[in-house]
Amino acid sequence: MPKSLLVGIVVLVIAGALIYYAMSGQTAVGCEVCIEFNGHTQCRSAKAANKQDSIRTATDTACADLASGMNESMSCGRTTPKSTKCE
């Protein structure tokens, strides 16, 4: 077996293991967050390695639909969620 083929196989196996490890370790907590901003409500879900990151990601995703422009996006992101459910 040529040396370059062996190196390629080893690299693929390592890359696959890293992808599996990254994906399985970052879906530990799922949260649904409902944000009310400018008279509208949007609920979004996210999964992350911990509760805080999951809530932040779900909030950012909801605010992407509710806010227009950087100032509104920042204000929306600081809004206390109307509801939060985590599993």
Q: Write out pLDDT tens, residues 33-74.
A: 999 999 999 999 999 989 999 999 999 999 999 999 999 999
pLDDT band at 24 (very low <50, low <70, confident <90, very high): low
Please name the residues in contact with 85: beta carbons below 8 A apart, sequence gap of 6 or more.
31, 32
Burial tier of 4 (Cβ tally within 10 Å: 0-12, 13-18, 19+): exposed
Question: Cα–Cα distances in Å, from 42 out to 3, 6, 26, 58, 60?
Answer: 55, 51, 24, 10, 11
Residue 16 belongs to some domain of the structure: no
pLDDT at residue 64, as a whole number: 94
Q: How many domains does the chain have?
A: 1
Where in the sequence is the domain holding 51, given as residue range(s)? 25-86
Burial tier of 5 (Cβ tally within 10 Å: 0-12, 13-18, 19+): exposed
Residue 13 belongs to some domain of the structure: no
pLDDT above 70 for 29? yes
Residue 63 belongs to some domain of the structure: yes
pLDDT band at 13 (very low <50, low <70, confident <90, very high): low
Residue 1 belongs to some domain of the structure: no
Percent of all residues in the chain with a pLDDT value above 90, rounded to a whole number? 64
